[in-house]
Amino acid sequence: MSSDTLVARTPAVRTKLPAVGTTIFTVMSALATETGAVNLGQGFPDFECDPKLVQAVTDAMTRGLNQYPPMTGVPALRDAVAAKISALYGHAYDPATEITITAGATQAIITCILAVVRPGDEVIVLEPCYDSYVPNIELAGGTVVRVPLVPGTFRPDFDRIAAALSPRTRAILVNSPHNPSATVWSREDMLRLQDLLAPTEVLLISDEVYEHMVFDGQQHQSASRFPGLAARSFIVSSFGKTYHVTGWKVGYVAAPASLSAEFRKVHQFNVFTVNTPVQHGLATYMANPQPYLDLPAFYQRKRDLFRAGLQRTRFRLLPSQGSYFQCVDISAVSDLSEQEFCLWLTREIGVAAIPLSAFYGEGFDQRVVRFCFAKRDETLHTALDRLARL
């Protein structure tokens, strides 16, 4: 066949993720843009970070810190992370062998899973859960074992978690403060998890990206506080969430040296390393702990403002103990499904939300939707004025 008669053809590909399509987050954000709605759906701030942080990154760039950093992360930033964990949670990680800087928390989580999960291994996820968990497990060839949090309260059901454990269980994923429900695990919860996992070889992947957003005087119960959990845990956090720079996509993983060694084997071949000047800027900025120490009060004020405004509606407010989310029961407002209600709310009321059913594999609909209050006060007031029509 000559090149003149060749018909170009794209070979067929058998998808690795047949259940994955366009996410509800993309759909709702696009609809909010199209309709001019206030976007309280996707979880990101609409305000700027501290100018001092931008300046610290700019200074690093102008100093010529623009080439590859060490694969594991800039030493000064790993030192700062280790110092923070030690000061807040009392666990000493070796920054050289036990802290790795990542391209955000989502990359950190898939790297944890790829490092330890083999085909046939089971991984327990607690639903509702962040939407990357299940596809990550499937890409690693693992089997997803879904265990629901208690409907309505979103507390861990330890009897069901215990029943889900098997000789094939390789890991369990937990998330506190929790996205999407805004619940926070207690010290008693973490102790029960520690006791439950103690006789097993199960690893813990602890998603703690909202660690600095815990309200009403509570403490964040990091897995690093508990020796029995820390010894088997990959602890994931996010500078983007903490410092209002989600688009920078920088996070970290803290784990014992043997687990970190396996993590780094995968990390070096999926991203190799992470933005150099941003790492240096973050390291400089972290010398002052006040920004993350002040974060609970910062977001609690926004939570309280938002909740006070929602009291003018027929929504039933669920507790918001941590994160920057507020869930509401829509039963007294509409007979629509969660997803249909969110579409209607965006088009007709001008406020975008996310259905909680999007965080369940089987789309469990319990008449609850999620708002994000990580927004400027003006944005929240505009949204509340529109929601007051309900």
State which amino acid sits at residue 287.
A
Average pLDDT, integer, range 209-238? 98
Q: What is the DSSP letter of 314?
A: S
Q: Which residue has tokens 């968990």?
A: 133
Burial of 114 (0-12, 13-18, 19+ CB in 10 A): buried
pLDDT at 151: 92
Q: Does domain 51-288 have CATH number 3.30.60.50?
A: no
Q: What is the DSSP letter of 111?
A: H
> What's the chain's average pLDDT?
96
- Long-range CB contacts for residues 385-390, cutoff 8 Å, separation at least 24: 386/38, 386/349, 386/350, 386/351, 387/309, 387/310, 387/312, 387/313, 387/315, 387/349, 387/351, 388/309, 388/312, 388/313, 389/349, 390/313, 390/314, 390/315, 390/333, 390/349
Decide: 43 and 181 in contact? Cβ < 8 Å.
no
The string of pLDDT tens digits covering residues 152-209 is 999 999 999 999 999 999 999 999 999 999 999 999 999 999 999 999 999 999 999 9
pLDDT at 108: 98
Decide: 352 and 346 in contact? Cβ < 8 Å.
yes
CA 250 – CA 231 distance, rounded (Å): 24
Contacts of 301 (CB under 8 A, 6+ apart): none
pLDDT at 5: 80
Alpha-carbon distance values, 350 to 5, 29, 39, 321, 384 (Å): 54, 12, 9, 27, 10
Sign of the CA dihedral running 199, 150, 303, 281:
positive
Quick check: 1 pLDDT over 60? no
Sheet arrangement for strand 143-148: 99-102, 251-254, 233-238, 203-207, 169-175, 122-127, 143-148
Decide: 309 and 381 in contact? Cβ < 8 Å.
yes
Q: Assign 3 a pLDDT band (cuts: 50, 70, 90).
A: low
CA 129 – CA 305 distance, rounded (Å): 26
pLDDT at 23: 82
- Among 84, 104, 85, residue whose Cα is nearest residue 267: 104
CA 177 – CA 53 distance, rounded (Å): 25
pLDDT at 122: 98
Higher pLDDT, 3 or 93: 93
CA 227 – CA 211 distance, rounded (Å): 18
Quick check: 59 pLDDT over 60? yes
State which amino acid sits at residue 138.
E
pLDDT at 21: 81
- Looking at 22-26, 69-73, 285-289, which range is the least confident one? 22-26
pLDDT at 22: 78
CA 144 – CA 172 distance, rounded (Å): 10
Q: Which CATH number fits domain 24-43+293-387: 3.40.47.10, 3.40.1260.10, 3.90.1150.10, 3.40.50.720?
A: 3.90.1150.10
Max alpha carbon distance in the chain (Å)? 75
Q: What are the residue boundaries of the structural domains of the chain, listed by start? A: 24-43+293-387, 51-288
pLDDT at 10: 95
pLDDT at 170: 98
CA 36 – CA 92 distance, rounded (Å): 48
Average pLDDT, integer, range 309-333? 97
pLDDT at 42: 86
pLDDT at 332: 96
The string of pLDDT tens digits covering residues 298-316 is 999 999 999 999 999 999 9
pLDDT at 386: 97
Adjacent-strand bridge partners of 254 = 99, 235
The string of pLDDT tens digits covering residues 368-390 is 999 999 999 999 999 999 999 98
Q: What is the DSSP letter of 22?
A: S
Q: Assign 25 a pLDDT band (cuts: 50, 70, 90).
A: confident
Quick check: 241 pLDDT over 60? yes
pLDDT at 260: 98
Quick check: 249 pLDDT over 70? yes
pTM reported for the whole predicted model: 0.96
* Phi/psi of residue 227, nearest 5 degrees: -55, -40
Decide: 382 and 38 in contact? Cβ < 8 Å.
yes
Decide: 306 and 317 in contact? Cβ < 8 Å.
no
